[in-house]
């Protein structure tokens, strides 16, 4: 169980502000006593238990929480179905960054890009929507900043890519363009993910004399 008073254990941005505040107070003849800069999950859970399952008065409403895990999208598959060409499985999404009990919301990762680019951006609010007609994945939503499990979501994956050469084409074909996947719902104190990009079909005809 760790409970630290060392400024070195603060997040760099928080540490910078803390040191500036301490220096300003010192210049005015005011002594600052730092009581805690970092607690691990066990120490935070022990404080949360005080006044609940252990003797004492309540001193916090924040549980220790945890870093947790985030679920990412799996890349779509593609099949040539006997034709010549290239079939590529889409890139998987990325896992979200986790941070426990420091009231910091990490932005979610960007969505996986397709060969046409277009992955949705990861934001500190909701995830960004992928560009239409790219088949790219949507960005992930940020984790909450409630002081508990601050884990950003996993980003969306890209669809499969297919480049087929049909030497003896039929007179007609049936086709459908893949619809965009919906963004994931927001978890507790978190933010929703961005929608994926719709698919695209490009048909080129080549003639030889």
For residues 152 and 197, membership in a common domain is answered with: yes
Q: Closest by alpha carbon to 136, among 180, 186, 80?
A: 180
The pLDDT-based confidence of 159 (bands split at 50, 70, 90) is confident
Residue 57 lies inside a defined structural domain of this protein? no
Q: 23 lies in a domain?
A: yes
Per-residue pLDDT reduced to its tens digit, 2-51: 888 999 888 888 889 999 999 999 999 999 999 988 887 788 888 888 99
Give 147's pLDDT tier (boundaries 50, 70, 90): very low
DSSP string, 25-51: HHHTT-------SEE-HHHHHHHHHBT
> Using one digit for the tens of pLDDT, what is the confidence trace for 57-111?
988 877 665 444 556 677 777 777 777 888 878 877 776 665 544 555 666 777 7
65 falls within a domain: no
- Per-residue pLDDT tens digits for 117-126: 888 877 666 6
Rounded to the nearest angstrom, the gap between the alpha carbon of residue 186 and the centroid of all alpha carbons in its chain is 11
35 and 96 in a single domain? The answer is: no
Task: Note the maximum CA span of the chain.
Answer: 92
* 82 and 156 both lie in a single domain: yes
Structurally, the chain folds into a number of domains equal to 2
For the whole model, what pTM was predicted? 0.52
**What is the per-residue pLDDT for 28?**
93
Domain that holds residue 183: 72-209
Q: Is residue 159 part of a domain?
A: yes
State the sign of the Cα–Cα–Cα–Cα dihedral 80, 86, 91, 92.
positive
pLDDT at site 100: 46
The verdict on residue 188 lying in a domain is: yes
With a cut of 50, say whether residue 170 has pLDDT above it: yes
Residue 179 domain-assigned (yes or no): yes
pLDDT at 153 over 50: yes
**Is residue 12 a part of any domain in this protein?**
yes
Stronger pLDDT, 67 or 136, i.e. the higher one: 136
Judgement on whether residues 100 and 154 belong to the same structural domain of the protein: yes
Q: What is the mean pLDDT of residues 125-140?
A: 75
| pLDDT of 209 over the 80 cut | no
DSSP 166-191: -SS--S-----PPPPPPPPPP-TT--
**pLDDT at residue 19, as a whole number:** 92
| Residue 47 resides in a domain | no
Note whether 12 and 77 are same-domain residues: no
């Amino acid at each position: 169980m760790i409970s630290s008073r060392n400024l070195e254990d603060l997040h760099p941005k928080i540490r910078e502000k803390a040191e500036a505040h301490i220096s300003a107070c010192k210049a005015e003849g005011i002594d600052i006593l730092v009581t805690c800069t970092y607690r691990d999950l066990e120490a935070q859970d022990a404080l949360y238990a005080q006044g609940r399952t252990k003797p004492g008065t309540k001193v916090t409403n924040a549980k220790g929480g945890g870093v947790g895990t985030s679920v990412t999208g799996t890349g779509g598959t593609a099949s040539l179905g006997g034709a010549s060409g290239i079939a590529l499985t889409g890139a998987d999404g990325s896992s979200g960054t986790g941070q426990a009990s420091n009231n910091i919301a990490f932005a979610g990762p960007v969505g996986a890009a397709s060969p046409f680019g277009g992955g949705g951006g990861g934001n500190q609010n909701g995830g960004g929507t992928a560009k239409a007609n790219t088949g790219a994945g949507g960005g992930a939503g940020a984790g909450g900043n409630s002081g508990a499990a601050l884990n950003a979501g996993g980003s969306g994956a890209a669809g499969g890519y297919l480049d087929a050469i049909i030497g003896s084409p039929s007179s007609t074909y049936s086709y459908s363009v893949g619809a965009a996947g919906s963004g994931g719902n927001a978890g507790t104190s978190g933010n929703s993910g961005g929608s994926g990009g719709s698919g695209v079909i490009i048909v080129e005809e080549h003639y030889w004399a």
